[in-house]
Amino acid sequence: MSTVRFTVTKTEEESDQQGAQPENAKQEKEPGEKSLLIDSAPPTVVLIPPNKEENEATNNEDAGGKKRSVLVDTESGDVKGDHFALYEEDLQERPRVATLLSAMANYTNLPQGAKEHENEEEGAKKLKPAPKLSTIMGVYLPCVQNIFGVILFIRLTWIVGLAGIWESFMIVLLCCTTTLLTAISMSAIATNGVVPAGGSYFMISRALGPEFGGAVGILFYLGTTFASSMYILGAVEILLTYIANDMAIFKPFAGPEYKANLLNNMRVYGTVFLILMSSLVFIGVKYVNKFASLFLACVILSIVAIYAGVLKSAFLPPTVDVCMLGNRILKEPPQGICSNFTDVNQTEYSGLFHIYCSINQTMVENSTMISVNGTEVNSTDVSPTTPIITCDSYYAQNQLRTIQGIPGLAGGVITENSVNHYMDNGDILTSSSLDEVPVAPYEPKGTETWIVADITTTFTILLAIFFPSVTGIMAGSNRSGDLADAQRSIPKGTIGAVLTTSIVYLSTVVFFGACIDGALLRDKFGYSIGSDLTVSRLAWPSKWVILIGAFLSTVGAGLQSLTGAPRLMQAIAKDNIIPILSVFGRGKANGEPTWALLLTFCISLIGIAIADLDLVAPIITMFFLMCYMFVNLACALQTLLKTPSWRPRFKYYHWLLSFLGMTLCITLMFISSWYYALIALVIAAFIYKYIEYRGAEKEWGDGLRGLQLTTARYALLRLEDGPPHTKNWRPQLLILMKLDDELKPKHKQMLSFAQQLKAGKGFMLVSSVIEGNFMEKFPEAQAAEQEVQKAMNEYKIKGFHQVVVSKDVSHGIDVLLQSSGLGGLRHNTIILGWPNGWRQSPDPDAYRVFLNTIRAAGASHNAILVPKNVQLFPDRQDRIMEGTIDVWWVVHDGGLLMLLPFLLRQHKVWKNCKTRIFTVAQLEDNSIQMKKDLATFLYHLRIDAEIEVVEMDDSDISAYTYERTLMMEQRNEILQHLHLSKRESQREIGAMMDKLRESNTAVRNTTQNDGFDSVEMEARNEMTWTPAKLLESQKQYAEDEQSTSSPKKEKQKGGIKNLLDIKPHSMNVRRMHTAVKLNEVIVNRSHQAKLVILNLPGPPRGGNQQREANYMEFLEVLTEGLERVLMVRGGGREVITIYS
């Protein structure tokens, strides 16, 4: 059900009254302040249709971005008064109950301006409210008119003759049952709220969502458009075949042998009819509506004439002679004489005789047997004056007779017509009640008098041809805005119309089979009775009642289709769910869909070009069955989901009935024509995917969203049973993004990296924390979420986003780690960016958030991924043509290091890379056996990788390691004692580092003796601290801080002097030694790798600032000289298994 939006507009009286406010009221207003004083008269409320929601959205927000009610006139709304003083603030944003009820009472779903434009054309000075329609006039009769169509008059007798009474009854019963069940479902949906313009499209789209609604809406539009083609072709067929044969341009056209001429006539006249009818619709729909009553009267009068003719035939059947040769039905013979002679004395041969026989006055020289007056004689026995007559063998052997084509209810033909007589294309029409004398194959004469089948017929084909005659049940729901009580009228009128038309169809099937001879029933175009419409010869008092009535009714139905289809397309275009169709939402000033009418004309012209009604009808059947199927699905879905908004006033529905109706629709689709059904499904699927990919996003509270919520709830409840099995483990990512000053993600490359890990098809949540007060920063959080969403869309990431506001960033991350996800659908892996520039910052918070996040991830048993130098990682469009992903497996972390390269290689960026796994062994380990065990382990894991075991020797601690450790501890001591500003600290440390480079020669010589490359060590010793450099830096520091107080300077100097006495802690030296040695091995082996994955060491426990800074330095040393590094720490559980 669509959300109803309202807009308040002021009338001219209100504007005048407000303009006459007292002077003191004007003086009380401050500059820029809007007056809240208005006259006691309530504002005029105009309800905006749902398709204008988006246009009004931007006007319904105040300066702070806060939503305000569109029912409130903030410029003139009276919020003062004794009764509402307590709610004075609320009334600024929310409507009073009286205002809301007034808006609901004055609601109209008609486009604003359409009625006004019509009244201006008619010269009306005042807008007169349109009279509301009752159930009979507003729903019942329009549905009856749309359901009764061309098939009833020109094809139902033919269907009965071919399928027989029983199978025809079954065809009609199946179709009527389908429409009845659909009408019940539609009544429930239509009474669950107001249904504006769009009819079935609106109901389906708001019940199943924009994707399904758009797909089915387009199919329903195509069905309605092709229905106009079918009605026009039916009208042309009635005109040329049964009313005015002489109007045909291409002659002759009677019979299958001249079918091409018939189709050409249909194309020419169909195009003329389409142009005239489209022009009438373009001029004004009101003219079409004025003729609607006439067309409806013609339909009713024609049906009454059929029943009157059936009753009359019981005691006085009409005289309808049908000429039969043997058991074959013949076209109406020349002069209507079904005999060999034109007179009783048999002196003159008839035109039919001359067709089958030839007369020759010449004596035959050879002795042969010839036919003389139907008798086989020897030519030598015939005198020279006797004429020689040669006749067709079948004509000579079989009797020529006349039968009563319509024997009436008492004629006894019901038994013969009870069974089917399906035919193949080209079969001769016969009567099963008559006998024939078969003859041997020969070259026949008189074939032009035979009536043959023009198409192959089966139960399914006839079902597809008949089904369009039961469509039209949406006519009432399309007029919901014009009804006095739509909630009551739509169910009663629609179901009553379906029951009425079903009774008419079922009864006429029986009556046709009981009154008309089977051979005449199978004569589709009435060639045997002089190209008369078969049902017209049964009707009373005159056949012209049926001919004229059928012609006008088909024209009227065509006009209704040409009127409804453009409006349906306009409704789809205005919803903007298919951007390419937006141009068809425009029209004339009064709202008439001009462009949509032009499109409808072009598509209808395609149906006219097909020209064969029996080929157009199955196309319409598929489109309408698709539409009805989704109506039933929508009702069943809403009923089963039991959403609170599902409260239809029509109570006589059940989900089983809707499900049965949906099943019947699907069954009839594939029974009628499986290839047409597949084409319709492919079209619907294509439109669905197009809307999903390119269409505008809509939120209509549809049933599919409710189904998704219900399914998600069920799945989440099942996930609560316990953690997933190791085989089902996949990375559920929580990406912690840092925002810049413009609230945009700072390192978007992390999103690209996360997207490359999506081969695991896991859950993904992009989060960030804004530091500050929630009440003040909430608008910034909303803006940040929009920026994050844009970044996710840019990198085509399907997931969720969340931005929280917290007074402390670490606390906000803790909240995210605890609260993100729902139930069993929670993150298990965290992607965290490396804090670049932490060395240059004297503030420990530069890396403390990073360390706290690692600790929190470990406490919550989440794995953590830290991409270092993420800006160097490949983008999603990049292709790495060759290279390796190197995994350095130092500590077992549950197998995550093994799984990550496999997941990355599923993406097109990394799929050409090979995996190499390095593991570290000490001297006491058996490296050969380790390599064999690792190969076996990877084989069972089904992971292809090269294996290498690296042995680490117990070398002595180098001078470089000692110097690096000393430098680290000295830096910590300085930052602890020197409470410098950020700028001063960076300048101090930078000056020290520049001066340290002068003393690297001695250390370089020492490291050369230890076997290290001098160039590499030169780079490594750039940050080594010496007493000379410290004294110089102390002097510079003293000069810069002359303005500071003496006690503070003495404290700082004393702290720096203590640096000379620092000795590195032995544990720090050992850890630095490990980092240096591992880095040396990794750089040596993996310096050309495209990605290096290694274990992330655990952070120090507690909150000791020096130990935290040392840990960060160890990580820097460990990853020094590597381009792309991914540090991984497992969550404490196995994520990969060797078992199936």
How many CB atoms are located within 10 Å of the residue 534 CB? 29
Q: What is the pLDDT of residue 692?
A: 78
Strand partners, 378: 369
Stated as kind and residue range, the H or E segment containing 884 is strand 884-889
Q: Residue 120: what pLDDT?
A: 43
pLDDT in tens, 948-984: 888 776 665 555 665 666 666 566 666 555 544 445 5
State residue 293's pLDDT score: 81
- The yes-or-no verdict on residue 992 having pLDDT over 70 is no
Confidence of residue 95 (pLDDT cuts 50, 70, 90): low
Find, among 1123, 1119, 1019, the residue nearest to 1075 by Cα: 1119
Residue 871 makes CB contacts below 8 A (sequence gap 6+) with 747, 749
Does residue 503 register a pLDDT over 50? yes
Work out the average pLDDT over 801-823.
86
Mean pLDDT of 810-814: 88
Spatial distance between the Cα atoms of 296 and 303, rounded to a whole number of angstroms: 11
pLDDT bucket at 220, cuts 50 / 70 / 90: confident
Over range 462-469, report the average pLDDT: 92
pLDDT of residue 698: 62
- Which of 134-138, 204-208, 491-495 comes out lowest in average pLDDT? 204-208
Other C-beta atoms lying within 10 Å of the C-beta of residue 34: 9
Name 138's Cβ contacts closer than 8 Å, sequence gap at least 6: 132, 476, 479, 482, 483, 484, 489, 493
* pLDDT at site 175: 95
pLDDT reported for residue 274: 95
pLDDT score recorded for residue 38: 33
What is the Cβ-side half-sphere exposure of residue 753, based on CA atoms within 13 angstroms?
Answer: 28
Interval 457-481 mean pLDDT: 85
Environment class of 701 (CB within 10 Å of its CB; exposed 0-12, middle 13-18, buried 19+): middle
In this structure, what is the dihedral angle of CA atoms 125, 126, 132, 136, given to the nearest 10 degrees?
-20
Judge whether residue 485 has pLDDT over 50: yes
Q: Which two tokens stand for residue 108?
A: 């109209």
Q: From CA 205, how far away is CA 2, in angstroms rounded?
A: 10
What does the pLDDT read at residue 306?
94
Other Cβ atoms within 10 Å of 45 Cβ, number? 22
Q: Is 978 left (phi over 0), alpha (psi -120 to 50) or beta?
A: beta
502 or 719: which carries more pLDDT confidence? 502
- With cut-offs at 50, 70 and 90, classify the pLDDT of residue 131: low
Q: How high does pLDDT run on average in the chain?
A: 76
Portion of the chain with pLDDT greater than 90, in percent: 22
| Percent of the chain clearing pLDDT 70 (strictly above) | 71
Decide: residue 1, CB within 10 A, 0-12 exposed, 13-18 middle, 19+ buried.
buried
User: What does the pLDDT read at residue 302?
Assistant: 92
Exposure of 697 by Cβ count < 10 A (0-12 exposed, 13-18 middle, 19+ buried)?
exposed
pLDDT over 90 at 518, yes or no: yes
Q: Radius of gyration (Cα) for the chain, nearest Å?
A: 45
| pLDDT at residue 664, as a whole number | 95
Tell me: pLDDT of 509 over 90.
yes
CA–CA gap between residue 228 and residue 149 (Å, rounded):
11
pLDDT average, residue stretch 669-679? 89
Contact indicator for 458, 420 with CB cutoff of 8 Å: no
Three-state secondary structure of 408-447? CCCCCCCCHHHCCCCCCCCCECECCCCCCCCCCCCCCCCH
Angle, CA 211 vertex, CA 206 and CA 213 arms, to 5°: 40
In terms of pLDDT, which residue wins out, 993 or 244?
244
Asked if residue 365 has pLDDT above 60, the reply is no
How is 682-750 classified by DSSP, letter by letter? HHHHHHHHHHHHHSPP-----HHHHHHHHHHHHHHHHHTTSPPPGGG----EEEEPPB-TTS-BS-THH
pLDDT at 832 > cutoff 80: yes
Taking only the tens place, the pLDDT of each residue in 1064-1097 is: 666 777 777 778 888 888 888 888 888 999 888 8
CA-nearest of 876, 831, 832 to 731 is 831
Instruction: Establish how many alpha carbons lie within 13 A of residue 772's alpha carbon, considering only the half-sphere containing its beta carbon.
Output: 11
- Cα–Cα distance for residue pair 226/208, rounded to 1 Å: 25
Report the C-alpha gap between 115 and 121 in whole angstroms: 10
What are residue 599's phi and psi, to 5 degrees?
Answer: -65, -40
Q: Which helix (H) or strand (E) holds 905?
A: helix 896-905
Contact predicate 1129/1096, CB 8 Å = yes
Nearest alpha carbon to residue 555 among 235, 244, 782: 235
Does residue 844 register a pLDDT over 60? yes
Among 102-106, 377-381, 504-508, the range with the most confident prediction by mean pLDDT is 504-508
Mean pLDDT of 981-1003: 49
pLDDT at 945 over 90: no
In terms of pLDDT, which residue wins out, 106 or 1021?
106
pLDDT at site 976: 59
Q: How crowded is residue 802: how many other Cβ atoms within 10 Å of its Cβ?
A: 16
Q: Tell me the C-alpha distance between 906 and 203, whole Å.
A: 43
pLDDT of residue 39: 36
pLDDT for 1042 equals 47
Q: What pLDDT is recorded for position 971? A: 64
Q: Which of 441-455, 565-579, 592-606 has the lowest mean pLDDT?
A: 441-455
**pLDDT of 544:** 92
Residue 265 has pLDDT above 50, yes or no: yes
Least confident of 188-197, 885-894, 914-923, 1120-1129: 188-197
pLDDT in tens, 699-715: 565 556 666 777 777 77
| pLDDT at residue 170 in the model | 96
Look at residue 507 in the predicted model and tell me its pLDDT: 96
**Per-residue pLDDT, 87:** 57
**Sign of CA pseudo-dihedral 463, 464, 470, 473:** positive
Predicted confidence band of residue 166 (pLDDT cuts 50, 70, 90): very high
What is the DSSP code (8-state) at residue 827? -
Instruction: Supply the pLDDT for residue 92.
Output: 64
Greatest pairwise CA separation for the chain in angstroms: 160
In angstroms, the CA 686 to CA 677 distance is 14
Answer yes or no: is pLDDT of 748 > 70.
yes
Of 86-100, 664-678, 966-980, 1100-1114, highest mean pLDDT? 664-678
pLDDT for 458 beyond 90: yes
Quick one: pLDDT at residue 991? 53
Instruction: Tell me: pLDDT of 586 over 50.
Output: yes
How confident is the model over 1002-1061, as pLDDT tens digits?
A: 434 443 344 334 333 333 333 333 444 444 544 544 554 444 334 444 444 444 445 555
Determine the pLDDT at residue 641. Answer: 80
